[in-house]
Structure 1
Amino acid sequence: MITELQHAVENYAHALDELNVPALEAILTQDTTWTFTVPGQGVLGPVAGRTTVLDFVRDGHAAQTGRVRHQLSNVVVRTADANSAQVQAYLTQTRNTGGNVQVISTGVYTFGLRRSDSGWRIAELTLALDNALPGSVGGP
Structure 2
Amino acid sequence: MTTEPQQVVANFAHALDELNVPALEAILAQDTTWTFTVPGQGVLGPVAGRPAVLAFIRDGHAAQTGTVRHHLSNIVVTTADANSAEVRAYLSQTKNTGENAQVISTGVYTFGLRRTDSGWRIADLTLALDNALMENPS
Scaled by the length of structure 2, what TM-score is found?
Answer: 0.98
Report the Cα distance in structure 2 between the residues aligned to 1:42 and 1:48, rounded to whole angstroms. Answer: 18
Query: 1: distance between equivalents of 2:2 and 2:15?
Result: 20
Structure 2 CA distance for partners of 1:47 and 1:76, relative to 1, 3 Å: same
Output the CA distance in 2 between the equivalents of 1:41 and 1:129: 11
Deviates more, 1:1-10 or 1:126-135: 126-135
Deviation, structure 1 residue 133: 4.4
CA RMSD in angstroms, aligned pairs only: 0.8
Number of residue pairs matched by the alignment: 138
Alignment partner, residue 101 of structure 2? 101
Q: Please state whether the residue corresponding to 1:115 is helix, strand or coil.
A: strand
Superposed displacement of residue 118, structure 1: 1.5
What is the SS of the residue equivalent to 2:111?
strand
Structure 1 residue aligned with 2:53: 53
- Unaligned segments of structure 2, at least 5 residues: none
Distance 1:17 1:35 in 2: 19
Q: Aligned residues: percent identity?
A: 80
Residue 82 of structure 1 is matched in structure 2 by 82
Contact 1:104 1:132 in 2 (8 A): no
Q: Following superposition, which runs of at least 4 residues in structure 1 exceed 4 angstroms of deviation?
A: none
Aligned AA (1:71): H
CA–CA separation in structure 2 for the residues paired with 1:87 and 1:77: 4
Alignment of 1:1-140 (within 5 A): 1-135=1-135, 138-140=136-138
Letter in 1 for 2:65: T
Q: Distance in 1 between matches of 2:95 and 2:133?
A: 11
